[in-house]
Structures are given as C-alpha cells and as structure tokens.
Structure 1
Amino acid sequence: MQSGEGGWSTYRPSKTLWAWSIVGASALTMALGFTWGGWTTSGRARVMTDIAVRNAKADLVAGICVHNFVTAKDAQENLKALQAKSSWQRDDFITDGGWAKIAGIDGTITNAADACADQLVKMKELPQSGGDAAVTDS
C-alpha cells in the first residue's frame, strides 16, 4: 500500500489547523448572523426600543390631539386655517392651539404635533359630533 492510498479515513489534521478552522467557522457564523440572521447587539436593541416607545407615545398623543381639535369650538375654521398653513408651520399651529397638550404630561411629545397635523390635513371634512374622527386620504 502506498502512502497516499488511505484517503480521508487516515487523515489527521494538526491542532493548529483545528484551531484556525474553529476561529474561521465562528467568524463566518457571526458575520452571517449579524448581517442576514437578524442578530442584534444589546445597545442596538435598546435604541430600537427607545424609538418604538417614542413613536408609540407620539401616535397616542396624536390621536388625542385629533379628538381635541375636532371637538373644539370653531373646529371647521381651525381646520381651514391649518390646511392653509405650509407643512413646516402646521406643528406650530397645533402646539400653539393647545390641542396636543395632555394633562399630566409636562412639555411636548416629539413628533406628536406633526402626526396630529398630518391626520387633520388628510380630512376632507370634520366628522359629525358624537362620532370618532375618521381619517380619509385625499
């Protein structure tokens, strides 16, 4: 029998080769996991949580803001005035009108006035009294 006839069954890799194989497989697994596998670091997960909380607060306050706006007296005139404003002035109009102010919350909620103004501008007309504010696309 010649020295090369044993094939894979007789192959014995060195400890160095085993070590580098483990390092390479680990690096490849981590690279694939973080890019395509959906893995994330705890810091990134914390940032994503903070963004989700901020967006949820803004959506909640925007819904309350729409209700406050629609149920206020002179709502129709205020809606016309809001629609006449440019997009970058609308959040100031909502904030100055006090519709985005929630009792018990100091300060303003980030993006709440913008979301409220966006929902109101999409309305073609105000809902009838006693009904919920329905948002319609224009």
Structure 2
Amino acid sequence: MSVGESWNAYRPSKAIWFWSCVGAAVLTMIVGFSWGGWVTGGTAAKQAQAAGQHAAAQLAANICVNRFLKAPDAAAKLAEFKKVDSWKRDSFVSDGGWVTFAKMDKPVSGAAELCADQLASAEAPLAADATGTAPQQESVN
C-alpha cells in the first residue's frame, strides 16, 4: 500500500478528532493573545481608563499652555520658567495654578508634565497693545 492510499484510507477516531479540535482552539488562542492583539475584558477596561486619563491630561495641558501664554506677564513668566531646572518645571506649572481648574481641589493628573514639555519649546508671546490685542505679524509674499 502506498502513502497516498494509506492517507486516503485513514479514518480518525472520535478521540483523535476531539483532541485535534482542542489543540487547534488552544493554538488559536495562544496566537491571538500573543500576536493578534486580543485582550481580556479587564485589560480592555484598564486600557480605556488609561486612554481617558491621558486624553484629559492632554486637554488640560493644552488649556494650561494657552492660559500661561495669554497671561499679562507671560513673557516674564516664560523667561522665569525656562530658568528652572527641567525636572522641576512640572512643579513650577502646578504651583502656578495653570493646571488646576475651577471647582477642582488638585491639578489634573499628568497635565503639569505635558504642559511643561509644551512650554519648554514655546516662544515668548508678542506684547499686547493698549486694546489688549497682539500686533499682527506681516506676511512676506
């Protein structure tokens, strides 16, 4: 009997079918959780919570930068900010109250670090005129 004939004549038992199905299911789960990006419900909830907190911190940081740069003494504060050691800048922002909003007892978690990072690369704002508006920069055509 040749290999091809033996292959065609083979009839697996119910136990072989059962364990083959179990093995395929286990292998599918291993591949799915390891490389397929599958997560459990608990992990998905933790990831959603972390994403929400990061989004809130990012929004608060953007508001912080805007409030910082729109303040009347923004140029002086920015110069003072840039003199502070880099590892203390988040404390400077937090202590200044730029990441603590109305009806909040404490700053938004993570916002001070993000705000400090954005302010570190910010340029000094243009001085406002008597009307309270910044002068327009001329564009070169």
SS in 2 for 1:13: coil
Q: Deviation per CA, 1:79-137, whole angstroms, max 9, x where unpaired?
A: 01111111221111111111111113332211101111111110132256557xxxxxx
Moved over 6 A (4+): none
Structure 1 unaligned segments of length 5 or more: list them: 132-138
Residues in 1 aligned to 2:40 and 2:79: alpha-carbon distance in whole angstroms: 47
| 1:31 partner amino acid | I
Corresponding residue for residue 26 of structure 2: 27
| 1:102 partner amino acid | F
Give 1:29-108 correspondences, 5 Å limit.
Answer: 29-108=28-107
Q: CA deviation at 1:7?
A: 2.6
Corresponding residue for residue 8 of structure 1: 7
SS in 2 for 1:102: coil
Residues in 1 aligned to 2:109 and 2:20: alpha-carbon distance in whole angstroms: 50
Q: Deviation per CA, 1:56-83, whole angstroms, max 9, x where unpaired?
A: 0001111111111111121111101111
Q: Which has the higher contact order (CA 8 A, sep 6+)?
A: 1
Residues in 2 aligned to 1:6 and 1:76: alpha-carbon distance in whole angstroms: 87
Q: Does the aligned pair in 2 maintain the 1:94–1:113 contact within 8 Å?
A: yes
Residues in 2 aligned to 1:95 and 1:5: alpha-carbon distance in whole angstroms: 76
Give 1:123-138 correspondences, 5 Å limit.
Answer: 123-127=122-126
| 1:15 partner amino acid | K
* TM-score normalised by the chain length of structure 2: 0.82
Corresponding residue for residue 136 of structure 1: none
Residues in 2 aligned to 1:51 and 1:70: alpha-carbon distance in whole angstroms: 28
Q: CA deviation at 1:25?
A: 0.6
* TM-score normalised by the chain length of structure 1: 0.83
Residues in 1 aligned to 2:39 and 2:127: alpha-carbon distance in whole angstroms: 48
Q: Does the aligned pair in 2 maintain the 1:61–1:112 contact within 8 Å?
A: yes
Q: Does the aligned pair in 2 maintain the 1:70–1:127 contact within 8 Å?
A: no
Percent of pairs with identical residues: 43
SS in 2 for 1:25: helix
Q: Would you say how many aligned residue pairs link Structure 1 and Structure 2?
A: 130
